[in-house]
Amino acid sequence: MKENCKTVSKLLFPDEQNLNQTQTQKFEDQLRNRLHSMRNERMRILNPEPQKQDFENENYKDIADFIKDHVLSVGKEQAVKDFQCGLNFLHKDLVESLNEDGNFGEKTFKAFYEILKHYDISLIKNAIRKGALNNTLIDTSSDKNINTQALVNQIQNNLGGIK
């Protein structure tokens, strides 16, 4: 499970330099992803068992695409904290609350995996959005030198408005 945790962590929260790709690099990634999808489709047809894993991979990719701009904007550590806060909103009944420490470790991975089993992706996205907004309000509202409203607007641009 440790490899899965590391793989999911890199997918959800890549280093900022990996998010700023050239057009050629993006095209190469698209080709690679297309070939990977074709291979997965072939494997799904030949062996129906891995469908659950493909579904999970698609969910990871969907969440990764959703938070990409937020990671670029606030950095990996803060984005993970916001992610953990969002998971805490959802999983109070499922597992023990996460420490919002900015470290995507085994506990965060297990909580995310559990949440994927029980919640729709749109609800998970809303929880992550609310986690980011919650952290921003708590971290900045008492500092008069920080424009909290500008940060909230930035998060809404990165993660969309509350739905």
Taking 70 as the pLDDT cut, the residues of the chain under it are 1-3, 16-19, 26, 48-57, 93-95, 161-163
Q: What is the pLDDT of residue 162?
A: 53
**SS3 call for 99:** coil
**Residue 125 amino acid letter:** K
pLDDT of residue 50: 47
Question: Residues near 55 by Cβ (< 8 Å), separated by ≥ 6?
Answer: none
| pLDDT at site 163 | 47
Rounded CA-CA distance 157/163 in Å is 13
pLDDT for the residue numbered 79: 93
Sequence spans of domains, the chain: 2-159
Question: Could you identify the residue written with the tokens 């919650």?
Answer: 134
Q: How far apart are CA 3 and CA 153, in angstroms?
A: 36
Of residues 89, 81, 75, 105, the one with CA closest to residue 15: 75
- Tell which residue, 115, 59, 117, has the closest CA to residue 90: 115
